[in-house]
Amino acid sequence: MTAEEQVKKRDPLTWKDFLPIILAIPLAILVKIFILTSYHVPTASMAPTIVPGDHILVEKWILGARFYINDQVYRLPGIRKVRRGDILVFNVPKEDSIFQSQRHLDYYHWKNSQAASSGFSAERDSFQFMPIPGRTPFVKRIVGMPGDEVEFNHHTILINGESEKPHPKSLQHFVIRFEQLTDFDRYKDSLYRMGEHVQMNRGAQEFRGVFTLEQLDLLPGDRTEIRVQYYFPDPSQIPDDFSWAKKLAVSGSRLRIPAEGWTTVADSLFVSIYGQILKRFENFEGQIRDQRLWDAEGRVMEHYTFRQNYYWTMGDNRPYSVDSRSWGLVPEDHAIGVTRRTFWSRVPEQSIKAGFRWNRMWERLD
């Protein structure tokens, strides 16, 4: 029998031959919705933990997958809640709204809007809140938990009254002071090579620069003073819409991160700090006027109980990260999932073949 005759005798293709592909497509969609997905990271705000060009795996099943129905977020049960130190992927809460005219749709941020001001008015069909899943995904590390009290004081961050302990891989501004001049001279070349924006003062036996704690492990701990210096935006540069962040940036202010079920007095100070959070994230059905809360029936509210948890985040590249120091808290319903590994990575603006980073494939993120 010739080859041509054998081809003619083959059975024709049926739908069963395509069954694996037919089943694979909805399975992939379900995995992406309920279990895990991947995101490309274009910026260096989490360096050196996550570098530009990394594609990270986001595990949704840990916190529970979300559904967004009729402007409400619903979440399936997860195996645990957010923990301090988690690398969280979330929809950035500063992107709250869209503005629509008859001719075009213009997307804008709250920092550039007047949507939260008492004098703002807009037609119902011209001002809308951006659905949470449509807001840009960010990735940051969890530093402050619900119920924590956070304070910024003289370049120090205090969490519940204690100095915040930086992650060993976080890039930070450090002040390094040696007790002995011989140690200063011994380590100065190494510090210059390792650090960024390094400044030296031999008379004071002091270095200032950007390092990680891991890099400073070589220094003699018993003869060296190492201090972290945190920087916040100038309060005048933070929009009034981000009132919680604006208040925190004033050195010496100690603020509480709202937790689900926290009931507190709803006085004028509360409204000035937390009012925008209620309007933007709490689905508050009443009104805010005259620095007081009014319920849907027009009665003054003496107390308020928060409906969800909130988190305070920072990027591991602390000197160059735009994070909660600039725009405030992350509501729990904005959380997409946690990331613990890279999927793959390539050098930006290079082809996969030329720029593929084999050493960052399936890299564990701590």
Domain locations along the chain: 172-229
pLDDT over threshold 80, residue 14: no
The string of pLDDT tens digits covering residues 259-274 is 999 999 999 999 999 9
Specify the fold of 172-229.
Answer: Alpha-Beta Plaits (3.30.70)
Q: Spell out the SS3 assignment of 123-159.
A: CCCCEEECCHHHCCEEEEEEEECCCCEEEEECCEEEE
Question: If we measure between CA atoms, which residue out of 90, 154, 117, 116 comes closest to residue 331?
Answer: 90
* Three-state DSSP state, 225: strand
Per-residue pLDDT band for 235 (boundaries 50, 70, 90) equals very high
Q: How far apart are CA 201 and CA 215, in angstroms?
A: 20
Q: How far apart are CA 264 and CA 266, in angstroms?
A: 6
**What amino acid occupies position 63?**
L
Instruction: Give percent of the chain with pLDDT exceeding 90.
Output: 74
> Could you write out the DSSP letters of every residue in 11-70?
PPP-GGGGHHHHHHHHHHHHHHHHTEEEEE--SSTTTTTS-TTEEEEEESTTT--EEEET
Q: How far apart are CA 275 and CA 75, in angstroms?
A: 25
Instruction: Give percent of the chain with pLDDT exceeding 70.
Output: 87
The string of pLDDT tens digits covering residues 152-173 is 998 999 999 999 988 999 999 9
For the chain, the average pLDDT equals: 87
pTM: 0.87
Per-residue pLDDT band for 34 (boundaries 50, 70, 90) equals confident
